[in-house]
Structure 1
Amino acid sequence: MSVRFQGLFITGTDTEIGKTCITAGLTHALAEAGARVVPVKSLAAGQVQDAQGQWVNEDVQQLHAAQRLGLTPAQVGPVQFREPCAPHIAARLEGKTLDREPLLAAIRASARLGELALVEGVGGFRVPLNDGYDTADLAVDLALPVLLVVGLRLGCINHALLTAEAVRARGLRLAGWVANTADPHQPHVVDNVAALAARLGAPCWGHVPRLPDPSPAAVAAHFSLTPAALLQAVRQVQEP
């Protein structure tokens, strides 16, 4: 049975386009507005050992640093694997499988710890998790409106429009999108953002440039809405 939480499912046009940075920035901004925000990295593949010998994931650490609820890294990243590769492969390498119900239970357990859950997906919108289940199915099961992170680089318009089409084809609401500068040398950025704004059919919540220090606060400073307005927008899109 699908359980609906308040919050967003954050997906992207591809891998390595800044979903975690944007999720951390949203966590910061919404917390500034007084919301109890739980960032959840639904699946994290790729760990290294820290100075204490603990296995950690960079994305989980980034989200953990942005939250203010005293969550543990395991609550922010409930499912983690060692190998930095597609999650179904990473799971297989550890002799595990990514089954739907245990994964949903783990994400929901973390989401219940706050008022709003920001559930970050993996890679793009349709990443396989097992033979019959992918991250688009996960988004449907979570029944959250979707925020699309568009990595600004060559091909981003096509990737963004196809992703938006796939999101809506699954019956999900595209709440908005954020442009994130993946390639600092991409030409015609203003024209690309304008083309996306004219075609995506959802509001742009910000355009984040390439930042020397992409801290949650620095990212949040480039959202087009104030923290209070952003919180209002997130609450409004929860309505069916």
Structure 2
Amino acid sequence: MTIPGLFVTGTDTGVGKTVVTAALCHILNRLGWSYGVMKPIETGWDGTTGDWPPDAGRLVEISGYTGDPEDVLPIFFEQPAAPLMAARWTGQTVDVDRLDRAWERQRRRHDFVLVEGAGGLAVPITEDLDMAGLARRWGLPLVVVARAALGTINHTVLTVAYARAKGIPVAGIVVNQFVPDPADPTRPDNAGMIEELTQVPVWAVLPHFRDPDAPAVGEALAASPGFRRWLTGLLQESRKG
């Protein structure tokens, strides 16, 4: 592959990164690709409730992963906070080498790996590394998941600007959970304005799903012209390689 995978980030927490990552898994399943999934760090889970925390568990389920749990989720913390804060809360530090080892194992097994970050790009992992730094460290272009509501233009433009300042390419933007609002007639124009200001393609404006299961969201993403253009380009490049 011309790229080793994608790093799915968001303009904020709770914008739907896991939903979009799972949707990408569904699309790759349909294509018959062998791919890896990672949630390098998940917070808000103590390791005792179920086999997996919510985000990593969803990716494992849709991808069908059956290997070593540490290769998907190398590090987790009980405190629901940014990794640096969650680690400090328990007197620990984030072992970046552990993250790198899990990444390298994934890369040896798969040509393509989907990595879901935590929060947004500036979320700190250590004193010297944030989520943007992790994406750059692993050579992964970004998919930015953005809200559909008021404020999304500012949040998304700032996220793309931060990525560029860190030297990380942004492959595309997904505007998630769009709901028409009679009180905000400009809402349908947000995606076009984001694309104009960032010069990054908006892959899709995903509608609101009452139950955002991976197949339904994946089909909506796969049907979007913006995403199809990107995927077609990726497939063409991979055949050349």
TM-score (norm 1): 0.85
Provide the C-alpha distance between the structure 1 equivalents of 2:146 and 2:237, rounded to a whole number of angstroms: 19
Q: Which residue of 2 aligns with 1:147?
A: 143
Over 3 Å counting, the alpha-carbon distance change for 1:170 and 1:49 in structure 2 is: closer
Helix, strand or coil at the partner of 1:133? coil
Counterpart check, 1:34 vs 2:32: yes
1:103 to partner: Cα distance? 2.2
The CA RMSD measured in Å over matched residues stands at 2.8
Comparing 142-151 and 66-75, the one that deviates more? 66-75
Q: Which residue of 2 aligns with 1:59?
A: 55
Counterpart check, 1:93 vs 2:80: no
1:14 to partner: Cα distance? 0.8
Which residues in structure 2 correspond to 1:97-176 (within 5 Å)? 97-176=93-172
Is the 1:148–1:178 Cα contact (8 Å) retained in structure 2? yes
Counterpart check, 1:84 vs 2:80: yes
TM-score (norm 2): 0.85
1:163 to partner: Cα distance? 0.8
Is the 1:13–1:163 Cα contact (8 Å) retained in structure 2? yes
1:148 to partner: Cα distance? 1.0
Name the aligned partner's letter for residue 31 of structure 2: A
Match of 1:203 among 192, 201, 204: 201
Over 3 Å counting, the alpha-carbon distance change for 1:69 and 1:110 in structure 2 is: same
Over 3 Å counting, the alpha-carbon distance change for 1:123 and 1:103 in structure 2 is: same
Q: Which residue of 2 aligns with 1:181?
A: 177
Provide the C-alpha distance between the structure 1 equivalents of 2:5 and 2:204, rounded to a whole number of angstroms: 18
Name the aligned partner's letter for residue 203 of structure 2: W
Name the aligned partner's letter for residue 87 of structure 1: P
Is the 2:46–2:76 Cα contact (8 Å) retained in structure 1? no
1:196 to partner: Cα distance? 1.3
Provide the C-alpha distance between the structure 1 equivalents of 2:149 and 2:160, rounded to a whole number of angstroms: 17
Q: Gapped runs of 5+ residues in structure 1? A: none
| 1:97-156 deviations in Å (ceiling 9; x for gaps) | 013323222233234332210111110111111222211211111111111111222211
Q: Which residue of 2 aligns with 1:192?
A: 190
Provide the C-alpha distance between the structure 2 equivalents of 1:175 and 1:62, rounded to a whole number of angstroms: 23
1:7 to partner: Cα distance? 0.6
Provide the C-alpha distance between the structure 2 equivalents of 1:214 and 1:220, rounded to a whole number of angstroms: 9
Name the aligned partner's letter for residue 13 of structure 2: T
